[in-house]
Structure formats: C-alpha cells, structure tokens
Structure 1
C-alpha cells in the first residue's frame, strides 16, 4: 500500500470576508520523493462561499486532486488557520487566528485516477470572536494523507 501526503503552503488561501473565498489553486505533483511518498492536491473550491460571523458554523469546500491514473483514498485532511489580514494584506492584531477553526475531514474520500473530488470541511467562527474578525482574510494551510486503492 503506498502512502501519500499533501501539504499545501500558504500560497493557497481562503478568506473570511463574512464569506470564504479561494485565492488560487494548490499545486499538484505526481512524482515520488525520496521516501516513495507522492503528493495529491488540496485547493479551495472557488465560488462556494460560506458566510461566517461570531458564533456561526459553515462549510469550507475543498477540491482533492489526483494526478495519477489510479484511484486514491484520502484518509485525512486538516487545515491550520494563519494570522488574519485585512483587504490590503496588513495584519489584524485585534483578531486572533484562533477565532476560526476548521474540523478535520469527516470521512475518507475516494478520488478517481486523473480526477478530483469536492468535499466540505466544517468551519467555525467562535462565539467570542472580536468585531475586528469581520471582513478579514484567514490564510489556511491544508495537509492530508491518502493511500493507493
């Protein structure tokens, strides 16, 4: 059984501007590294917004991409929330990154060979989030694991 991992760097962003939005797709590599680990893609799905405000829960849609010619089973996906910035890219110190959290992938997902699968991660803005957390961008870094089927 091959093991796969994906780590999407800070270049793949999502935002809470009372809605989430995608900045750009994540790179997908189909080559093995020195450990025999291959990569699969995790990116935000554009156009699938979620309104978030203090105390709310919503769905953050992501796209899992498999560049291989066989299916994979994505077992885990998690998202780390970075420090928020305003519309000009300036830090917003009055809004801690801990104001938003995303739950891990709820169940494994099969991604077809040379295909994609869209899934939702549950997102939360905590009830005590300060007003400074409205209309800011929270960068997300995704990581995950998968196996060859």
Structure 2
C-alpha cells in the first residue's frame, strides 16, 4: 500500500500539496506458465510531489518493476483511494475518500526484463473538496495485470 499526504503550504488558502510515501513494490499478480499472467511490482516514485487544489488535476508517478528476465506488458493499473487519516493515523469522517480520484493506466507499458518503468497516473482533487481534507494522508492501493508479450 502507498500513501499520499495532503498538506497546506504556509500562507495559502486553496492550494493543496500532495506528497506520496511508498511502502515498497507490492506484487499484484501471480506468475503463470506460458504466456499467462506475470508477477510485477508497483510503487510510488519518491520525491515527486504534486500541488492540487479543489478542481485541479495532476500526475502521480509510479514505478513498475519486473523481476523476470524477459519483458512484460503491463496492461492495467488502477489505484483505489482509501479513507483519509490525520497525522496520528486517526480517521477523518468529515473528509471523504471520494474527494480524490486517480485515473487508471491509459495505455499498456512494456517493462524490460529485470527492469523498471516509470509512468504517470492522472490525479484529481474534486471540486467542492471540504476544508477537513487539508493535511491528511490518503492511502492508495494499486492493482494491475501484466502478461508476457
């Protein structure tokens, strides 16, 4: 699972800065024989914050990792946004997880054997996001599929 943190810069009233924290690559599919489904990892690319505010769109960079010695074709990646929590890990009911949306991978990506590929997923902070959503952590859970081309 990955996390992103929304914080309000000093002196700003509407701009929200998103910073994600990675828990490391997580396998999202099991290896099958032949040209079946292949195992790969998905993790956040560290140090790539995005400034978002209600109604804004940005990018969330992720790293796809292939432990196989041959290329794989990542066909899908989606991110589910979990319930936000404050800096102490307490849930914040006044801020719905639906305030943030992450679009799915738009085109398949080839990841080289024993390599990685960085790709951007489009992120949205929806219009009308409540003030209660400032300085919160939104957990992201990634899933996806890949095959041997």
TM-score in terms of structure 1 length: 0.84
1:19 aligns with 18
Give 3-state SS (helix, strand or coil) of 2:98's partner: helix
Q: Structure 1 pair 31/122, CA: closer, same or farther in 2 (3 Å)?
A: closer
Whichever structure has more strand as a proportion of its residues is 2
1:7 aligns with none
TM-score in terms of structure 2 length: 0.84
Partners of 2:30 and 2:144 in 1: how far apart?
17
1:50 aligns with 50
Cα pair 2:37 2:146 within 8 Å, conserved: no
Partners of 1:122 and 1:70 in 2: how far apart?
28
Cα pair 1:14 1:44 within 8 Å, conserved: no
Q: Deviations over 1:84-107 (max 9, x none)?
A: 011111111110000000111011
Residues 1-149 of structure 1: pairs in structure 2 closer than 5 A: 11-17=1-7, 18-28=17-27, 32=31, 37-149=37-149
Deviation at 1:29, TM superposition (A): 8.4
Cα pair 1:28 1:67 within 8 Å, conserved: no
Give 3-state SS (helix, strand or coil) of 1:113's partner: coil
Which of the two has higher C-alpha Rg?
2
Two-structure CA RMSD over aligned residues (Å): 2.0
Task: Name structure 1 gaps, 5 residues minimum.
Answer: 1-10
Deviation at 1:133, TM superposition (A): 1.0
Deviation at 1:134, TM superposition (A): 1.5
Task: Name structure 2 gaps, 5 residues minimum.
Answer: 8-16
Over 3 Å off, 4+ runs: 27-34
Give the total of aligned pairs.
Answer: 138
